[in-house]
Amino acid sequence: MLYNVVDIQKILPHRYPFLLVDRITELKEGEYIEGYKNITIAEPVFQGHFPGHPIYPGVMIIEGMAQAGGVLAFKSMDTESQEDIKNKVVYFMSIDKAKFRAPVTPGDKLIYKLTVLKNKGAVWNLDGKAYVDDKLVAQAELKAMIVDK
């Protein structure tokens, strides 16, 4: 474990019920990140998606990937900028090539794996994939930018 949920909250501004990363397990600055979210029936989204047939929404999977990517972008900043994290936020710019391959349900461990496609200054292009039990359940190319709050 590199970062638990308390550590992640020091990096990202998201909080319950919209913090969608429980733990970061691997990180290579400027290159790669892996983390996960444990999906439980207690997720508020399951009240309406769908009663009697709970499916974790694809948009939440994409957002979780984006949040993991935000941790990667922040942790890849130069060391002088690490102190400035409190004054920065990551904005989602685009989602491309999104595909949902299998449903995610309560009890699943949703693993996010993101690699950097390109980084130019504050802009990050990431290839994101989400897995459950080594099975690809979703993928997308994400673009984000670190900006001042």
Q: Is 53 one of the catalytic residues?
A: no
Measure the CA–CA gap between 63 and 47, rounded to whole angstroms.
19
Residues 14, 23, 32, 49: which is the catalytic one? 49
Residue found under tokens 């461990």 = 109
| Phi, psi for 46 (deg, rounded to 5) | -70, -10
Residues 63, 64, 65, 71, Cα dihedral to 10°: 110
Measure the CA–CA gap between 14 and 118, rounded to whole angstroms.
25
**Is the torsion defined by CA of 13, 1, 38, 124 positive or negative?**
positive
**Cβ-contact 81, 32 below 8 angstroms:** no
Structure tokens, 72: 């990667």
Residues marked as catalytic = 49
